[in-house]
């Protein structure tokens, strides 16, 4: 089946890096399309939402796209199309974000996004490579084929808390436990950047693209 992968442009995120990484996992007949138009989600087989920057700015950017919130709700929540959120694109899935005020998120997952509070010797933002850990031996399909504790690349100062434990499929340690990836039904999202995580990120993107 030809895949039509739509990358939602809400005014933040390194879209070119994301599309370049996705391009390494597709077949010649597949397509990747960056869009800010809700109508493009109709024919999408897979949807990607990247985000970089402040939670509120990313939500405002998404809300400013005519019809996009409703189109995402329909495509992801109702039609169950495979969805991948990246960095702030993951954070926006939760109920609210506490960055420069309190901002409402999409509310697809239980949880809030709050400042990281690691020990004083650790710098904020959390930037660089860190190991992923998996809460159960039966790891999520997105991480199949990887070693026991693979490394991924993070850049963030806020993280998800008060989450539903069954939604958390990977975590990292940075003075405290950090939610690194979540999944629920057709929804997959990562706090780390797959497009910057080299072999680990490409493995995850390949699994995502080939999810039916």
d(C-alpha 194, C-alpha 99), whole Å: 23
When the pLDDT of each residue in the chain is averaged and rounded to a whole number, the result is 95
**Residue 211 clears pLDDT 90, i.e. is over it:** no
* Global pTM value: 0.96
pLDDT band at residue 14 using 50, 70 and 90 as cut-offs: confident
Catalytic amino acids?
87, 193, 195
Report the pLDDT value the prediction gives residue 99, as an integer from 0 to 100. Answer: 92
Q: What are the pLDDT digits (tens) for 143-179?
A: 999 999 999 999 999 999 999 999 999 999 999 999 9
**201-207 long-range Cβ contacts below 8 angstroms, 24+ apart:** 201/21, 201/152, 201/153, 202/21, 202/24, 202/25, 203/143, 203/145, 203/146, 204/142, 204/143, 205/21, 205/22, 205/24, 205/25, 205/84, 206/24, 206/25, 207/141, 207/142, 207/143, 207/144
For the chain, the domains span 4-209
Per residue in 94-151, pLDDT (tens digit) is 999 999 999 999 999 999 999 998 788 899 999 999 999 999 888 999 999 999 999 9
CATH 3.40.50.880 fits domain 4-209: yes
């Amino acid at each position: 089946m030809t895949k039509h992968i739509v990358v939602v442009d809400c005014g933040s995120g390194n879209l070119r890096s994301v599309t370049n990484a996705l391009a390494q996992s597709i077949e010649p007949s597949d397509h990747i399309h960056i869009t800010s138009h809700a109508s493009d989600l109709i024919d999408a087989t897979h949807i990607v939402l990247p985000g970089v920057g402040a939670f509120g700015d990313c939500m405002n950017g998404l809300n400013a796209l005519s019809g996009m919130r409703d189109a995402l709700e329909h495509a992801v929540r109702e039609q169950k199309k495979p969805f991948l959120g990246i960095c702030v694109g993951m954070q926006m899935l939760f109920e609210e974000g506490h960055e420069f005020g309190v901002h409402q998120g999409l509310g697809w997952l239980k949880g809030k996004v709050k400042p990281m509070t690691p020990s004083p010797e650790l710098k904020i933002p959390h930037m660089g490579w860190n190991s992923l850990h998996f809460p159960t031996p039966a790891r999520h399909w997105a991480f199949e084929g990887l070693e026991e504790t693979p490394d991924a690349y993070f850049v963030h100062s806020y993280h998800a808390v008060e989450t539903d434990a069954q939604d958390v499929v990977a975590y990292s340690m940075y003075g405290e436990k950090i939610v690194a990836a979540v999944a629920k039904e057709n929804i997959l999202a990562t706090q780390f950047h797959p497009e910057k995580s080299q072999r680990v990120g490409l493995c995850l993107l390949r699994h995502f693209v080939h999810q039916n």
